[in-house]
Amino acid sequence: MTMREQAETGQPRSGARVRGTPPRRSVPAMIAGGFGELLLTAGALVLLFVVYLLWGTGLQTAAAQDDLRGQLDLGGSASSSQDGSSPDESDSSSDRSLDELALGDAYGIIRIPRFGDDWEWVIVQGVEDDDLRNGPGHYPDSANPGELGNFAVAAHRSGHGEPFAPFPRLHVGDIVEIETVDGTFVYKLDDAPDGDSDGNRISISDSWVVDPVPGQPRDAEPVEKRITLTTCWPRFGSSHRMYATGVLIEEEQR
C-alpha cells in the first residue's frame, strides 16, 4: 500500500504525512527533536556571539573613530585660550582645555610605528566600557602628555577594533607618539613585553603601573614624564593585564 493510498483511505500509518496535518510523531521523538533544535540554536548563538566579538564590535568602533576624528581640532589655533585666565605655568592654558574634556570626548592621537606606519587611533577621555568601545582611552586621573607623572592609556586587544592586538610585539626602545591640542609628544618605551606573549603580565589589581611614579606611593612627587599602556591578558580574555611603559624623549609644543 503506497502512502497516497493510505491518505486516501484515511488510515495513515504512524509517521505518514497527510496533507494539511502535521506529521504525527511519538512523544519521545518530539522531545528528542526539540532538544536537538535547541542544541543547534545554542551552537548558532555561540558562533554569532564570536562573530559579534571579533567583527561586530569593530564596526561600531570604526564609526565612533570617524566621529571622534571630526571632534579633534589639532590645528592648534581654535581650541586653546578660550578663557583669558592667566597661565601660572608655561603650558597650563592648553592643559586646561584637555582637563575640560568630558568622558568620551576625543582626547588626541596615538601612533605606534611598531604596529605599522598607518597605525593611528583617536584616544578618548576615560576608560569605562563605554569609552573604550570607541577607541583607546586615557585614564582620566593620570597626567596629560608632556606633564610630569604618568600619562596612561588603555585599549582593547580583541574586539572593538582591537587597537592593541599586536601589543606583545612592543619592544624596549619602541616609539609611542601622542598628539593633542598641546602639541606632539614622543615617548620611548623602557619596559615592554619584548615579543613575549606573556611578557609584562600583571594582575588586574596592579594599578601601580598607572601611578604617577610607578612602584612608588601614589602621592610620590613625579620627576619623570612617563607613558603607560595597558591591555588585557590573555588576548581573548581578561584574567590578567599586560602593560608597557616609557619616558618622554621629545616634545613639540603648539
Dist CA 111 CA 9 (whole Å): 79
Contact by Cβ (8 Å): 153, 137: yes
Residue 14 CB, nearest approach to other proteins (Å): 17
Dist CA 6 CA 199 (whole Å): 73
C-alpha cell at 16: 505518514
Residue 251 CB, nearest approach to other proteins (Å): 26
C-alpha cell at 178: 601622542
Dist CA 243 CA 228 (whole Å): 7
The residue (of 154 and 213) whose beta carbon lies closer to other proteins is 154
156 an active-site residue?
Answer: yes
C-alpha cell at 229: 599602556
Residue 17 CB, nearest approach to other proteins (Å): 12
Number of other residues whose CB lies within 10 A of the CB of residue 183: 18
C-alpha cell at 163: 587597537
Contact positions vs other proteins (CB under 8 A): 22, 34, 37-38, 41, 45, 48-49, 52-53, 56-57, 127, 129, 132, 137, 139, 154-160, 164, 202, 204-207, 209-210, 230-232, 236-238, 241, 243
Cα atoms found within 13 Å of the Cα of residue 229, Cβ hemisphere only:
34
The residue (of 96 and 240) whose beta carbon lies closer to other proteins is 240
Dist CA 69 CA 86 (whole Å): 30
The residue (of 111 and 138) whose beta carbon lies closer to other proteins is 138
Residue 125 CB, nearest approach to other proteins (Å): 14
Residue 6 CB, nearest approach to other proteins (Å): 21
The residue (of 51 and 249) whose beta carbon lies closer to other proteins is 51
Please identify which of the residues 156, 160, 171, 240 carries the catalytic annotation: 156
Instruction: State residue 184 phi and psi, 5-degree precision.
Output: -115, 135
The residue (of 48 and 249) whose beta carbon lies closer to other proteins is 48
CA distances from 41 to 34, 145, 211 (A): 10, 49, 47
Task: Give the torsion through C-alpha atoms of 39, 42, 47, 48, to 10 deg.
Answer: 140
232 an active-site residue?
Answer: yes
Please identify which of the residues 138, 160, 171, 232 carries the catalytic annotation: 232
Query: Which residues belong to the active site?
Result: 156, 232
